Each structure stands twice: as structure tokens, then as C-alpha cells.
Amino acid sequence: MTDQVQNVSELLAPEKGNRLSPTWFAENIMNPALNAGPLGVYNTAADLVNLPTVHLKTEEAKPYSPEWFAQGLSSGVGATVPFVIMGAATGSVMKAADSSLAGTALGTALNPYLTSSKIATIAGASIYGALQKPDADHTRLGNAVGMAAGLAVFTMGNDLVKDAPMLQKAMAYPLIGFVGGGTMTEVSQLASNLKLARNDQALQGAVQGLTMNTVMGLGSDYLSRRLAQDQQASADKIAEAQRETAKAVLERNLDPKDVKVQEFTPQSRSAFARIADLEKEYSDYVKDNKPQYPHPDQFDALTADEVTKLGFARDDASNPEILAAFKGDKKPRPLPDAKVVARDISPLLSSTYEE
């Protein structure tokens, strides 16, 4: 049986040294990433509740060897998972706290901090460090302080290049991550036992930070662009609906051939939105109150007091220019509530809207 095991080991040895083999890829790329990523999250939680932990096999790599660098880079990619999860969870808790404190002096003072995604990211990293089971050379406090320091470097560094072109960001993120990862390692060691990390440990941490910040930075940029695109598409859809509403309002109250609704500009978007909002407000008013307005032909016989009782303000009730907008023999139309339409829509309906 021993001979068989030795023979199997000999058969696998050449594959293990081959950097193109599945075994090498698993032990130096995939497994380190999984150990630092999803399994890192699971193992942290499992350790807290005394459940079995899971660690995938990795190759015993000599410091500064290709395998050593490969494991550092891949574990940096995997480590983005717990940091993103903890940052999002911490941010949610902070926003909930902000909502519960809304309207109080304390809430007003803490609002800028409780709604900051940067603070949530740093706090989440610190909490994750405190929850992780430390090795023999570190403490939970040291890990918490070190991870907070590293993420602070990531955050502040990335903020410096937030407006830079994408190519410059892609070059800056690895450098920022390298510094942040090294900072994380050194501060964690100092806070744990007042010692400096070994050179190979500091470099390994810097290498991990390089890929970690690159993935997190580029991922954040991608999500921000997608969110901006989705928001713009939604805004364009709303603006088009408001434009159609404004056009319908104008055509309903003017001769359609005189209505010329221009294309979108910042000014026209604002006008379309205002008309659409007033139209909805008026529609809601009619729906809720079901007012019985006289026919326009009977309107001339109403006194100012009678017009006021219909909902018009006193000044509007005696203003012939405003009341004129609701007279005419073109077609019957109801008298709107003064607070909604008489003061705002009638000037727009009295002439064709053009830039």
C-alpha cells in the first residue's frame, strides 16, 4: 500500500511542477482566491459559532517564487468578496441608524458620517478584521486596525483619481492597492505586538492589495457607469412622457395647428415637467373633489365671490386675463382649482410655448 502511494505521488509530481497543469492552477490560483473570498466569509462565521471550517489546498510556495506571487495576486482578488459584503452590510446598518435619528440634533450631526459610503467601507473592513480568527502572531484588534488602515489608503487614494480618465485609473489602482496592502500588513502587525512584519509578509500583503484595489476600483467604476446609464435612460423616459403630456395639454386648450412643442433642452425639459406636474395635480384634485363647474357660457354671469367659492383665489377671481383663459366658444372645459392651474397653467395656455 505504501508503495502504491509513493507511486501515485511520483506520478503527480511532474504535473505539480507544470505551471500549465490543472493542479498548479487549482493550488496557486483558484484555491487561494476561494479561501480568501467566499470561504473566508464562511470560515469567519463558522469560527464564531463553532462550526467546521473549510480550507482548500494550496501549494507550499517559497517566498518570492512565481507560485508565491501567484497566490498573493489571486487571494487579493478573492478578498474583495468579504470587503464588499461587509461594506454593504455596514452601510445598510448606518443608513438605518440615520433614518432612526432623523429630525434629532444628534441625527443632524451624524448624518454626513452615517450616509458616507467611504466610512462604511472602512468600518466594514475593520469589523471583518475583528471577526476573523487571528493567527498566532496577530490579535483581533490588530487585524481590525490594520484592515481599517489599508482600506483608508484605498479609499483616499482612489478618491484622488476619481475624475481621471479610465486608462489613468487602471494604472493608478494597482499602485494605490500596493501601498494600501503593505500598510494593512504593517499596521496589523504593529497593532498586534508592536513589531514590524517580515519583508516577505509585507510584500505579500502589498501584492494582495494590488489586485484587491484594482478589482474593487474598476468594479466600482463599472457599476457607477451602469447606474448612471440606467438613471439617464429612466430620466429620458420620464421626460418624453412629460413632453407628450405637455403637448396634449396645449393641444387640448389651443388650436392644435398652433401648437409647436420643441425638442429637449434644459429649459424645455423644465417647462414640460412643470406642465406635467400641474396636470397631474389638477387631475388628482378633480378625482378627489369631483367639483361641479358651470359651463363656460355661464361663466360670465358669475360674480367674483362666486368664482372664489369655486376655488379661485380672490386676486385671480377678479383678474380678467386669467379668467379669459377659461372662456370661449371653442369647446366646454371645466374651471380648474385656482391653486393648481389658474396661477400657473393659464399663462402657458394663453400662448403657444416656444423657446
Q: Which of the four pLDDT bands, split at 50, 70 and 90, describes residue 329?
A: very low
Range 91-110 average pLDDT: 94
Indicate the average pLDDT of the chain: 81
The C-alpha cell of 334 is what? 371645466
**Predicted pLDDT of residue 304:** 63
Distance of alpha carbon 310 from alpha carbon 308, whole angstroms: 5
Is the confidence at residue 2, as pLDDT, over 60? no
Report whether 355 contacts 265 (CB < 8 A). Answer: yes
The residue ranking higher by pLDDT, 138 or 299, is: 138
**Predicted pLDDT of residue 343:** 43
Name the helix (H) or strand (E) containing 298: helix 296-299
The residue ranking higher by pLDDT, 220 or 316, is: 220
The residue ranking higher by pLDDT, 76 or 280, is: 76
Name the helix (H) or strand (E) containing 164: none
Note the pLDDT tens digit of each residue in 254-292: 666 666 666 667 777 787 787 777 777 767 766 776 655
Is the confidence at residue 328, as pLDDT, over 90? no
Spell out the SS3 assignment of the chain.
CHHHHHHHHHHHHHHHHCCCCHHHHHHHHHHHHHHHCHHHHHHHHHHHCCCCCCCCCCCCCCCCCHHHHHHHHHHHHHHHHHHHHHHHHHHHHHHHHHHHCCCCHHHHHHHHHHCCHHHHHHHHHHHHHHHCCCCCCCCHHHHHHHHHHHHHHHHHHHHHCCCCCHHHHHHHHHHHHHHHHHHHHHHHHHHHHCCCCCHHHHHHHHHHHHHHHHHHHHHHHHHHHHHHHHHHHHHHHHHHHHHHHHHHHHHHHCCHHHCCCCCCCHHHHHHHHHHHHHHHHHHHHHHHHCCCCCCHHHHCCCCHHHHHHCCCCHHHHCCHHHHHCCCCCCCCCCCCCHHHHHCCHHHHHCCCCCC
Is the confidence at residue 231, as pLDDT, over 70? yes
